[in-house]
């Protein structure tokens, strides 16, 4: 075969390949927004604590059963949110990279969750102030304090209490608020970390209303509900603890 014919053959084959890739890409792009539209209802439709909690539970069930179906049309939603936000849940959780509330709760998209994250989901001044902003100014009707299984910060606090292993640097100061919780869970033996995770979430949720008159008044009026939760990083399931 002459060099010119060979070159033309290669060019034709490359064109067919590129055309196939283009069609496949267009199909994928075209299908994504349609699926997203079915899984991302408007955040303004949630106005009560009960509605917000129900949506979180439904979203987590969707995440557990079919995580790949949790997608959002971010391009369209981003434009809609340029003028403001109306998150229907405020969530204090851990910085752990395996714990992403937007995914854990069924692909909740931009503008739906007002999230505060730190190691150990500790209720410090910054976290409490952010929760007050979320509930008072953004009108978020639900507050969730969510711990998770195998939490590193909780494990460090447990090791300090049981083994005298004090973390260095600022980590030691960071886990100090968790130490009293460890002591209250100490009789659990091998289940110390798991029980501390649970009690730490409950303790944080209880303290919110105790330490914030803003949130306390909103809770008393029925406008806001505060709950605790524990996320299992293996199963993907969230256990909600509503009776505090």
Residue 158 marked ligand-binding: no
Contact in structure between 147 and 99 (CB atoms under 8 Å): no
Contact in structure between 185 and 192 (CB atoms under 8 Å): yes
Which residues contact residue 201 at a Cβ distance below 8 angstroms, ignoring those fewer than 6 apart? 121, 145, 146, 147, 228, 229, 230, 241
Q: Are strands 89-93 and 142-148 parallel, antiparallel or unpaired?
A: parallel
Residue 204 sits at the vertex; the CA angle it makes with 242 and 95, to the nearest 5 degrees, is 105
Residue 151 marked ligand-binding: yes
Residue 94 marked ligand-binding: yes
Distances in Å between the alpha carbon of 102 and those of 208, 210, 214? Answer: 22, 28, 26
Residue 5 marked ligand-binding: no
> Which residues does the annotation place in the binding site?
94, 96, 148, 151
- Give binding residues for Zn(2+) as ranges: 94, 96, 148, 151
């Amino acid at each position: 075969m002459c060099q010119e014919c060979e070159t033309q053959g290669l060019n034709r084959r490359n064109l067919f390949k590129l055309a196939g890739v283009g069609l496949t890409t267009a199909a994928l792009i075209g299908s994504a927004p349609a699926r997203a539209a079915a899984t991302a209802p408007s955040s303004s439709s949630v106005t009560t604590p009960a509605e917000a909690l129900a949506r979180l539970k439904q979203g987590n069930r969707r995440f557990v059963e079919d995580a790949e179906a949790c997608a959002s049309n971010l391009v369209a939603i981003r434009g809609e949110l340029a003028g403001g936000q109306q998150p229907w849940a405020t969530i204090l959780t851990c910085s752990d990279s395996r714990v992403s509330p937007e995914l854990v709760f069924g692909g909740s998209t931009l503008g739906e969750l007002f999230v505060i994250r730190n190691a150990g989901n500790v209720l410090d001044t910054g976290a409490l102030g952010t929760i007050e902003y979320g509930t008072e100014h953004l009108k978020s009707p639900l507050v969730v304090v969510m711990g998770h299984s195998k939490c590193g910060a909780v494990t460090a606090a447990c090791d300090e209490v049981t083994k005298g292993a004090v973390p260095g640097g600022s980590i030691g100061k960071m886990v100090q608020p968790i130490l009293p919780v460890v002591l209250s869970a100490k009789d659990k033996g091998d289940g110390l970390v798991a029980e501390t995770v649970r009690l730490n979430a409950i303790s944080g949720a209880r303290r919110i209303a105790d330490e914030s008159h803003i949130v306390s008044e909103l809770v008393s009026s029925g406008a806001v509900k505060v709950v605790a939760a524990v996320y299992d990083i293996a199963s993907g399931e969230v256990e909600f603890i509503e009776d505090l």
